[in-house]
Chain A
């Protein structure tokens, strides 16, 4: 196997998997989802720092 990983440990890549990962690293531009995730991370962090809560609606009986 060219991939070894454990839940609480490292990820080990070799062969084609390492080569492809490196290609991702060197060539990938942030996609729109990643950019949106960073924006959401900022908002969530700010909310937590202010001690604010997150709210959603739930159907009664759930």
Chain B
């Protein structure tokens, strides 16, 4: 028998139930620890914002944490469409600092929808209001294929591909045109 499960995507709230969140593999335990111990504090202090997929009883099924970031290229880039920006070392970005789905609910597009919401914030709100060129993530190696399917690019250098958490990015400019 299959039952229907519904959730909404919204900001993390103080009343949200996070203790029952199951991260599954030990590799993901730090993600649960962040949700349980730090996410609300980061949110309160405006260091990062966490958005949750929560059911009607405020049980968190998945979450994504976003923060302001930048990609520092040591002034090596050359933008044809904004030559003055070439004088600066870095370009603005939104970073996916955390992303996790309760292991019992994986495979139901919750992670995909959280990424989609983050992308909509970047494209509809952040880029047009304060500027944002990239969405970036330090992806766990086991999540690289997931991020590729969400449209991210893996920086395909030897250094990056040998990292435990390789850098992946989505350039928003060609998507905004």
Contacts and interface: CB of A to CB of B under 8 A. Distances in A.
Interface of A: 1-3, 5, 7-14, 16-22, 24-26, 28-31, 33-38, 40-45, 48, 51, 53-60, 62
B63 to A, nearest CB: 14
Contacts of A42: 120
Interface in B43-94: 47-48, 53, 67, 69-74, 76-78, 90, 93
Interface residues of B, number: 65
B108 to A, nearest CB: 4
Contacts of A31: 151, 153
Contact of B160 (A3, A56, A60): A3
A17 to B, nearest CB: 5
B95 interface: yes
A28 B8 contact: no
Interface of B: 1-10, 42, 47-48, 53, 67, 69-74, 76-78, 90, 93, 95, 97-98, 104-105, 108-110, 112-113, 115-117, 119-120, 123-124, 136, 138, 148-153, 155-160, 163, 165, 167, 169-171, 174-175
Contacts, number: 170
Contact of A41 (B69, B97, B123): B123
A56 B62 CA distance: 14
Given A16-B159, A54-B7, A58-B3, A37 B116 contact: yes
Given A28-B171, A55-B5, A57-B3, A8 B67 contact: yes
Contacts of A45: 116-117, 120, 124
A37 B155 CA distance: 19
Contact of B157 (A16, A37, A40, A41): A16
Contact of A38 (B98, B149, B175): B175
Nearest to B7: A54
A14 B74 contact: yes
B156 A20 contact: yes
B120 A41 contact: yes
